[in-house]
Amino acid sequence: MELIIKKRRIKLIIAVFVMLFAGIIYAWSIINTPFRQISDGVVTNATQLGINYTLTIIFFCLGGFGSGIIAKHTTTTLRLTLSALMLFTGFFAASLQTVTLSYTGNYFMLYLAYGVLCGLGIGVAYNTVISTINMWYPDKRGFSSGIMLMGFGLSLLATGWLIDILGNSESVGWRFTYVYIAVALGIVLLIAAIFINPPPKDTVFPQPKSDNASSITEETKNYTALEMIRQPSFILIFIFVTILASTGSAAISFARDIVIDAGASEGFAVFAVGLLGISNGFGRLAIGWLFDKQGMRHTQFFSGGVAILAPLTVVMALIANSLFLGVLGLCLCGFSYGLAPTINSVFASGFYGQKNFSLNFSILNLILIPAPFAAMLAGGIKSSTGGFMTAFIILTGLTVVGFFVCMAIKKP
């Protein structure tokens, strides 16, 4: 038993390290620097760059979905090796675009290299790592999911500053920064392909310490994907987590502007965005811990309450022109956004079983596809009204609905 515990801890540490690199998907606001076209201090190609990010998120979801479909017919080694090849090819091809895009003005190759290949590669790695490592933690699925997803969420804080330094360095530059990213991701995922694998079928794991945790039990039915999507609980989970992700997406997209509207300086606004990223990472870990310790019902009540409090605090900050409330509201938005992926993980295993977890989890993660459109809506409202107040009032109303949706979720 002690050997199993030690072995799974090592695998979890490797998984967190992999997720720190895979979370580079959130660093687009930094690594799009060489593609920006600036005139009079304004980015003139923001729409094209936004399309690339949207494509990345869409293909990230599709990569996870594809990984879930082929999981039963392929090994983790094959899937992670495939992910390594896609990410190396995608970032290396994008490195060439850092030189040619300003001359050609053709975004197709950037969309194909970064949006499609990198999005697919990260999606495959994300789904494979989480579903495989969770097999080693049947007694602590909330903890294992939370700590891996915390690594994914903290990636911007952990690697963003280094990427920015290298990219803006005269001795390195953005082209070679992209090459370094390609090589680093390729190596990390090839190492993961060696060490991350499912436990042997006869492995005996520790029993859950809390009767309330209900992380996964022998009584949980293993639902197929078709059976899962027919369950009322699935529809309710999908609606609630979409609301969570939409609020977070809007906050993350306009965090800097929201804090400035609340009275912050430019320098402090950048610091506040960093705090949002930290809160996002800890939200992923906190909800996993709560699930393990207190069970599903407490997890639902807590996540539903935080979901309402987050946009409501931003509204109060804008009414009172309070910088403190503005920063607190953004941190709560980041925290609540962090709840979404961990909720998907623990619900997918706790409600629908472990046998088809990889595919079921990837289907639940498709909520990330509509979430970016909340940011587009918030931007449109900002343009027409001159502020974010209306957008976050609407989001607060949605989260109130989301609270009742969340509390209606029951295990099939």
Please tell me the predicted confidence (pLDDT) of residue 64: 92
DSSP E strand stretches across 40-172: 42-43
Q: Is 301 exposed, middle or buried (0-12, 13-18, 19+ CB in 10 A)?
A: middle
Please tell me the predicted confidence (pLDDT) of residue 211: 47
Please tell me the predicted confidence (pLDDT) of residue 210: 52
Helix (H) or strand (E) holding 39: strand 38-39
d(CA 159, CA 173): 16
Domains identified in the chain and CATH numbers: 1-207 (1.20.1250.20), 223-412 (1.20.1250.20)
Please tell me the predicted confidence (pLDDT) of residue 32: 84
Please tell me the predicted confidence (pLDDT) of residue 412: 82
Please tell me the predicted confidence (pLDDT) of residue 209: 61
Our measurement of the distance from residue 113's CA atom to the centroid of its chain's CA atoms, rounded to an integer in Å, reads: 20
pTM of the model: 0.80
Q: What is the pLDDT along the chain (412 residues), one digit of tens a residue?
A: 677 888 899 999 999 999 999 988 877 877 888 988 887 776 778 778 878 888 898 899 899 999 999 998 999 999 999 999 999 999 999 999 998 988 888 899 999 999 999 999 999 999 999 999 988 988 887 788 888 988 887 787 777 778 888 988 889 999 999 999 999 999 999 999 999 999 988 877 777 665 444 444 445 688 998 999 999 999 999 899 888 888 877 787 677 677 777 777 766 776 777 777 788 778 888 888 888 788 778 888 999 999 999 999 989 988 988 888 888 988 898 888 888 888 888 888 888 888 888 899 889 888 777 776 776 677 777 777 777 888 889 999 999 999 999 999 988 8
Please tell me the predicted confidence (pLDDT) of residue 17: 93
Question: Coil, strand, or helix at residue 320?
Answer: helix
Fill in the DSSP letter of residue 388. Answer: S
- Per the document, the length of the chain is 412
DSSP character string of 347-396: HHHHHH-STTHHHHHHHHGGGGTTTHHHHHHHHHHHHHHSSSHHHHHHHH
Nearest alpha-carbon partner for 261 in 309, 314, 310: 314
d(CA 126, CA 35): 26
- From the CA atom positions of the chain, what is the Rg in Å? 21
Please tell me the predicted confidence (pLDDT) of residue 308: 95
Our measurement of the distance from residue 130's CA atom to the centroid of its chain's CA atoms, rounded to an integer in Å, reads: 12
Residue-wise burial string across 95-111, b where 16 or more C-beta atoms lie within 10 A, e elsewhere: bebbeebeeeeebeebb
Please tell me the predicted confidence (pLDDT) of residue 372: 67
